[in-house]
């Protein structure tokens, strides 16, 4: 069975500082990995995805993530956050591109 | 850019009543999904639907739930007799045909269901 662990429920960070949101997954098969963002009172928007190939994946809004198979991790990073990045971030996994298993989410709180 | 739409945005219903949540997936997509998010919790998979039948469902998706694609454009989730614990945000999602493998599911904005 697949599962996703997001180690931090909340991450406070100062504006213009770098941030890393951690995600670990478990799966017995090859997986597809995703990061989704949910802005306040909105739906889910795909930030980036890893299907195959280069382990460093670049997404929208300056975010990137690195797939590490040996550590079963897919951490999300941004070199300099903006107040508009305030949102909940969900790491997710899918083994066939079908049902998606989500982590519990990390709330990114940008401090002025 | 095409997007998934959902109606209504907010539905309030009394316990025991039937509700139908509606979704219009992106027009050339062939795989459809429902997920739910109870307030403060993670997003959970409910059901996937392809070729007019359920392809997978979770343990949450019991006999009180059903899905339908009645007219080739809408995709509905019916809850036959709502319970307080059905209160959640329900997200519809759709995905492209298998020959265009991006594995990205496009999510709608959600319907907030409140059962009183």
pLDDT at res. A31: 82
Q: How far is A92 from chain B (nearest CA, A)?
A: 10
Do A11 and A108 meet the contact criterion of CB atoms below 8 Å apart?
A: yes
Question: Which among B42, B101, B109 has the least Cβ separation from residue A102?
Answer: B42
Q: Which helix (DSSP H) or strand (DSSP E) does residue B115 occupy?
A: strand B111-115
What count of CB pairs under 8 Å joins A to B? Answer: 49
pLDDT at res. B99: 64
Q: Which of A99, A103, A106 to mutate to test the interface with B (most CBs of B within 10 A)?
A: A99
Range B104-110 average pLDDT:
90
pLDDT tens digits, one per residue of A82-101: 999 999 999 999 877 688 99
The reply to whether residue A101 touches residue B45, judged by beta carbons under 8 angstroms, is yes
- What is the Cα–Cα distance from B39 to B22, expressed in whole angstroms? 20
Question: Which among B35, B41, B104 has the least Cβ separation from residue A49?
Answer: B104
Q: At a CB cut-off of 8 Å and minimum separation 6, what does A79 contact?
A: A18, A62
pLDDT tens digits, one per residue of B3-29: 899 999 999 999 999 999 999 999 989
Does the beta carbon of A111 lie under 8 angstroms from any beta carbon of chain B? no
Q: Residue B55 pLDDT more than 80?
A: yes
In this prediction, residue B1 has a pLDDT band, given cuts at 50, 70 and 90, of confident
In this prediction, residue B100 has a pLDDT band, given cuts at 50, 70 and 90, of low
Question: Which among B42, B58, B91 has the least Cβ separation from residue A43?
Answer: B91
- What is the Cα–Cα distance from A82 to B4, expressed in whole angstroms? 28
Does the beta carbon of A60 lie under 8 angstroms from any beta carbon of chain B? no
Residues recorded for chain A: 112
Do B24 and B2 meet the contact criterion of CB atoms below 8 Å apart?
A: no
Q: pLDDT tens string for chain A (112 positions)?
A: 788 999 899 999 999 999 999 999 987 777 889 999 999 878 889 999 998 888 899 999 999 999 999 999 999 999 999 999 999 999 999 877 688 999 999 999 999 8
Range B29-51 average pLDDT:
93
Tracing tokens 């079963």 back to the chain, one arrives at: A72
The rounded mean pLDDT for chain B is 92
Tracing tokens 């928007």 back to the chain, one arrives at: A45
pLDDT at res. A27: 79
Q: How far is A90 from chain B (nearest CA, A)?
A: 8
- A17: how many CB neighbours lie within 10 A of its CB? 12
The reply to whether residue B103 touches residue A105, judged by beta carbons under 8 angstroms, is no
The reply to whether residue B43 touches residue A43, judged by beta carbons under 8 angstroms, is no
Do A102 and B43 meet the contact criterion of CB atoms below 8 Å apart?
A: yes
Q: A49 to chain B: which residues are within 8 Å by CB? A: 102-104
- A64: how many CB neighbours lie within 10 A of its CB? 16
Do A31 and A17 meet the contact criterion of CB atoms below 8 Å apart?
A: no
Give how far Cα B88 sits from Cα of A27, B15, B41, B71, B85, Å: 28, 14, 10, 26, 8
Q: B31 to chain A: which residues are within 8 Å by CB? A: 98
């Amino acid at each position: 069975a697949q599962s996703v662990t997001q180690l931090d429920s909340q991450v406070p960070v100062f504006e213009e500082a770098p941030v890393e949101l951690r995600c670990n997954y478990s799966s017995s098969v090859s997986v597809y990995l995703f990061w989704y963002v949910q802005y306040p009172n909105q739906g889910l928007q795909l930030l980036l995805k890893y299907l195959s190939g280069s382990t460093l994946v670049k997404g929208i809004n300056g975010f990137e993530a690195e797939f590490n198979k040996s550590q079963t991790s897919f951490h999300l990073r941004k070199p300099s956050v903006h107040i508009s990045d305030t949102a909940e971030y969900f790491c997710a996994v899918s083994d066939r591109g079908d049902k998606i298993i989500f982590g519990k989410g990390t709330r990114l709180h940008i401090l002025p | 850019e095409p997007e998934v739409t959902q109606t209504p945005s907010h539905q309030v219903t009394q316990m025991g009543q039937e509700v139908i949540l509606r979704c219009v997936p992106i027009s050339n997509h062939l795989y459809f999904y429902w997920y739910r998010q109870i307030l403060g919790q993670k997003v959970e998979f409910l059901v996937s639907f392809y070729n007019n039948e359920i392809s997978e469902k979770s343990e949450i998706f019991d006999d009180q739930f059903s899905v339908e694609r009645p007219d080739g454009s809408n995709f509905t989730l019916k809850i036959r007799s709502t319970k307080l614990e059905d209160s959640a945000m329900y997200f519809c999602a759709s995905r492209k045909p298998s020959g265009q493998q991006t594995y990205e599911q496009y999510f709608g904005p959600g319907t907030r269901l409140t059962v009183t």
